[in-house]
Amino acid sequence: MTDSPGDPRVLFVMNVALSTAFAALLLWGLSLATTVPFTPRGVVGLALVFTLLTYLVVVR
């Protein structure tokens, strides 16, 4: 059981959830500094970027 890589579906959902949370936190902080606006579209876009980057780093 310790050598099990885990269920890929669970790992994908965790990746999406954590990427979304990180994107929301990052954009919220930047909006406080009035650098970029905090919008749902921005959170989704940044979360997609983080999800893709995480996937590429893990797969390679």
Distance (Å, whole) CA 60 – CA 38? 32
Chain segment 43-52, per-residue pLDDT in tens: 999 999 999 9
Chain segment 19-37, per-residue pLDDT in tens: 999 999 999 999 999 888 9
**Is 46:23 a contact under the CB 8 Å cutoff?**
yes
**Cβ neighbour number for residue 19 with a 10 Å cutoff:** 20
Q: What are the extents of the domains in the chain?
A: 8-59
pTM of the complete model beyond 0.85: no
What burial letters (b/e) apply to 20-56, b meaning 16+ CB within 10 Å?
Answer: beebbebbeeeeeeeeeeeeeebbeebbeebbeebee
